[in-house]
Amino acid sequence: MRIITTGLLLFFCISVFSQTQEEKQAEREKNKVEIFTSGEKDNLQFFFKEQVDKMKLTEDLRDDYYGIILYYTNKMRRIGDKNKGYTEAEIKTKFDAMVIKLNDEVKEILTKEQYPMHRESFSKIVTSVYNRKGWGK
């Protein structure tokens, strides 16, 4: 009897947790406003693979580099979500601050030859966002 009761209780808890997670996900999707278009995301992946190949990063360094890029671009892409309530000027300011942090972190792991290559590559992505959003430099 205890096994059945425990099983039912566990099933109930999992069901409630799943429903709560689904509700949170639905709310997040409703508020979603991405900073990068799907085309920019595709270009970002292709472009960065080419640039990383040119930088001749070791496998470990490449993994670290990608980790930093992914961390910041994931934060950037959701910066304009409606539920955050940021104005366009605040979104731009926060975006710029994230670009600076990204560049600072990347600078610590890249050589003096590789870092300018990163800056040139990522600045093209930033320019694309600026142009689409109508932000002046």
DSSP 31-92: H---SS-HHHHHHHHHHHHHHHHHHT--HHHHHHHHHHHHHHHHHHHTTT-GGG---HHHHH
If one compares 24 and 44, the residue with the highest pLDDT of the two is 44
pLDDT tens by residue, 48-105: 778 778 888 888 898 899 899 989 988 888 888 878 888 989 999 999 999 999 999 9
pTM for the structure as a whole: 0.68
